[in-house]
């Protein structure tokens, strides 16, 4: 059960990272259950808005001339934005003309890095045995399926996009 919870939390985190809602619209629901199981209370409050802190690059050992060279190098490429975070502060931002910090971009394969890092943490913490574990261990509907191919898919297969599943999200981006 503990492993299933950590996997669900990891998937929820990935889903939330790809969402478009602002932090100001996030609502937290807190449930409190007393030792007497017959009563419980639930309160809903707006989550506090968290914002990145900004600082000067030179305060964190970065050379502004080199950052300007980076911006000039990125300008003719297909990179539309770049944000550099050091010591927990945004120390540099680059946006091509027509783009800013509110622009929405496709993530492409960026979420794979986050997902694999979360799986690595779950393995290190003992919530998941290894990447060789079949996903049917976490999804009972797959375990109960008659599809033997689905039952053979492991976490490693999903992380490396070698599950054999044929799916495309092209229709989302062709609109």
Residues 6+ away with beta carbon under 8 Å from 10: 115, 118, 119, 122
CA distance 74 to 92: 13
Per-residue pLDDT, 109 = 75
Mean pLDDT within 74-96: 94
Residue count of the chain: 175
Contact 96, 2 (CB under 8 A): no
- Comparison of pLDDT for 82 and 18, the residue scoring more: 82
Per-residue pLDDT, 32 = 36
Sign of the four-CA dihedral 17, 21, 23, 26? negative
**Residue showing tokens 């007393």:** 34
Q: Which pTM does this prediction carry?
A: 0.47
Q: Where do the structural domains in the chain lie, given as residue ranges?
A: 51-103, 106-169
Phi, psi (degrees; rounded to nearest 5) at 128: -125, 135
Interval 46-63: pLDDT, tens: 767 888 999 999 999 999
């Amino acid at each position: 059960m503990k492993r299933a919870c950590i996997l669900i939390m990891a998937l929820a985190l990935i889903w939330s990272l790809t969402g478009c809602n602002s932090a100001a619209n996030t609502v937290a629901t807190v449930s409190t259950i007393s030792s007497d199981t017959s009563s419980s209370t639930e309160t809903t409050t707006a989550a506090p808005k968290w914002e990145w802190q900004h600082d000067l690059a030179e305060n964190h050992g970065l050379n502004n001339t080199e950052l300007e060279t980076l911006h000039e190098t990125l300008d003719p490429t297909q990179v539309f934005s770049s944000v550099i975070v050091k010591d927990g502060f945004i120390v540099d931002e680059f946006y091509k003309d027509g783009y800013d910090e509110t622009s929405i971009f496709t993530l492409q394969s960026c979420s794979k890095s986050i997902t694999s890092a979360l799986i690595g943490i779950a393995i290190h913490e003992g919530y998941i045995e290894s990447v060789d574990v079949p996903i049917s261990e976490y999804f009972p509907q797959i375990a109960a399926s008659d599809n033997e191919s689905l039952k053979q898919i492991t976490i490693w297969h999903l992380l490396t996009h070698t599950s054999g599943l044929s799916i495309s999200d092209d229709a989302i981006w062709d609109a």
